[in-house]
Amino acid sequence: MSKIFLIAGLGADTRIYNNIELGEEHDITPVDWIEPNERDTLSTYAQKLIHQYNITPNAVIIGNSLGG
């Protein structure tokens, strides 16, 4: 079973993935944005998401952008 994390682009939320069907053989987790600290860099923010959602090196990350 592969672990798949769904990350919505800025200005969107996980509802964008409500109608996506990836099959029951996957463990799918929608990732909600967390409030950044004013001192966060992209790297420290990514580490917070990795820790909060227990994202491992072999996980699949799916994201989207609405053209921002």
pLDDT tens for 5-38 read 999 887 778 888 888 888 888 999 999 888 999 9
Among 2, 5, 6, 7, which residue's Cα sits nearest to residue 26?
A: 2
Measured CA distances, 29 to 5, 44, 49 (Å) = 5, 21, 12
d(CA 66, CA 64): 7
pLDDT at 18: 87
